[in-house]
Structures are given as structure tokens and as C-alpha cells.
């Protein structure tokens, strides 16, 4: 299982999601297109500045709220596209994410 900080985990997830999205929709080969590369860089910067850091809720719940409107729409499209498709390819990654989401919900109550 992944061992590292929560932010590192989020970075890995977003990197995989954008990579998958770009490969499928923009037909990039190994390297992200300029648009996706900029989105990825932006996402990582947001994570570095995230006020929650390691107490952060899962990205779909939290990350989006601190994004600028145009970037928010971009990352939403990426998640909407990649999440269900990656579930088939990388069940470990997405299931881990879902489980963490459940735990976070329980903690708040």
C-alpha cells in the first residue's frame, strides 16, 4: 500500500488521472500536452498550499474548492472522465480513495 504523506498520495492520484485523460482524449504519448501539463502543475501547487495538508479530505470533496473557476472546470472534466475508467484498470487506487472518503465522513460526525 502507498506509504507517504497524504499530499504525496493526492499528487500521485491527480498525476495519474490527468495522464490518463490526456492520453485518451488528447492522444498524447508519454508526455502531457501543454494544456494538461499546466493543469497538473497548477494542481500540485494547490496541494502544496493546501491548508489541510495531511488532514485533507479526499480530492473530489476538497481540491476543487480552492481552484480558480477555469481550472476547477478542467479538473472536474478530468475526474469525471478518469475516475470511472480508472476504476476498471486500477481498482486499488480508486477503492483506496473511496474507503478514505468513508473514513473521513465518519470522523466528522
Q: Which residues bind Zn ion (CB under 5 A)?
A: 22, 26, 33, 36
Contact 22, 62 (CB under 8 A): no
Supply the minimum distance, in Å, between the C-beta of residue 4 and Zn ion.
26
Supply the minimum distance, in Å, between the C-beta of residue 5 and Zn ion.
27
The answer for residues whose C-beta is within 8 angstroms of residue 87's C-beta and 6 or more apart is 94, 95
From CA 44, how far away is CA 48, in angstroms rounded? Answer: 6
Supply the minimum distance, in Å, between the C-beta of residue 104 and Zn ion.
30
Amino acid at each position: 500500500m502507498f506509504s507517504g504523506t497524504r499530499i504525496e498520495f493526492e499528487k500521485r492520484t491527480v498525476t495519474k488521472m490527468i495522464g490518463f485523460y490526456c492520453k485518451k482524449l488528447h492522444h498524447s504519448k508519454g508526455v502531457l500536452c501543454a494544456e494538461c501539463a499546466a493543469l497538473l502543475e497548477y494542481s500540485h501547487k494547490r496541494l502544496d498550499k493546501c491548508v489541510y495538508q495531511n488532514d485533507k479530505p479526499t480530492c473530489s470533496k476538497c481540491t476543487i474548492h480552492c481552484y480558480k473557476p477555469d481550472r476547477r472546470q478542467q479538473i472536474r472534466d478530468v475526474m469525471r472522465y478518469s475516475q470511472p475508467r480508472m476504476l476498471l484498470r486500477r481498482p486499488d487506487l480508486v477503492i483506496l480513495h473511496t474507503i478514505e472518503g468513508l473514513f473521513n465522513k465518519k470522523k466528522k460526525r
